[in-house]
Amino acid sequence: MTRLVVGVGGASGAVYAQRLLGVLAARGDVEAHVVFSKMGRVVWHDEIGTDPADLGFPLYASGDMAAAFASGSARFDGMVVVPCSGGGLGRIAHGLSTDLVGRAADVCLKERRPLLLVLRESPYSLVHCRNMVAATEAGATIIPASPSFYSRPGDLGAAVDTVVARVMDHLGLADHTLQPRWTGLQGGAA
């Protein structure tokens, strides 16, 4: 069983978290522990509207620093913050464990576990760019919440899946069919 922390930050794009959690739940071999930041709950309510308790995974309060994954001694395989705000990125890049999302991310970095940050902000300031560098140097992987179009996604859900597919790959759960794998240009390069 793969044990993951899924942090839901206060950036636009709650649908990425909703889809990821749906995909993880359908697998049956992943135990996801879910924590929303305070603004993560606000944005989820605005963009999705469902009760996060319906997700089917254990939910933790943003101030619950006694959660198991707030300690490096608990066995977890990694974490994704999806979506990750510019503010959340900055706090993670600078080790400010002011809420459980930040603390759990800090634990992943110190334990050298995979930490994926699905960053959503536009445009990026120099501060965001520097914080991306700092987080990457510390071991995090920045996955932009930017859909790709080479698989010709036909609707919003398919576009969302192009991002979730990359998240799954980097969580070591690459045995998914969320997006066709690139096999080269059909007919070769022009």
Ligand X SMILES: Cc1cc2nc3c(=O)[nH]c(=O)nc-3n(C[C@H](O)[C@H](O)[C@H](O)COP(=O)(O)O)c2cc1C
**Between residues 23 and 119, which has the closer beta carbon with respect to ligand X?**
119
Closest CB to ligand X among residues 19, 120: 120
- CB-based contacts of 141, cutoff 8 Å, min separation 6: 114, 115, 116, 117, 170
CB of 96 to ligand X, least distance (A): 10
User: How far is the C-alpha of 160 from the C-alpha of 178, rounded, in Å?
Assistant: 9
In the 8-state DSSP scheme, what is residue 130? H
Q: One-letter amino acid identity for 11?
A: A
Q: Name the closest residue to ligand X (Cβ).
A: 10
Whole-number minimum distance, CB 183 to ligand X, in Å?
33
Instruction: Name which of 30 and 138 has its Cβ closer to ligand X.
Output: 138
DSSP H stretches of helix in the chain: 14-27, 38-47, 86-93, 100-110, 126-137, 156-170
Q: Residue 22 CB, nearest distance to ligand X (Å)? A: 21
Q: Which residues bind ligand X (CB under 6 A)?
A: 9-12, 37, 39-40, 42-43, 46, 85-88, 101, 120-121
Rounded CA-CA distance 180/183 in Å is 9
Measured from the CB atom, the residue of 9 and 78 that comes closer to ligand X is 9
| Least distance from ligand X to the Cβ atom of residue 125, Å | 10
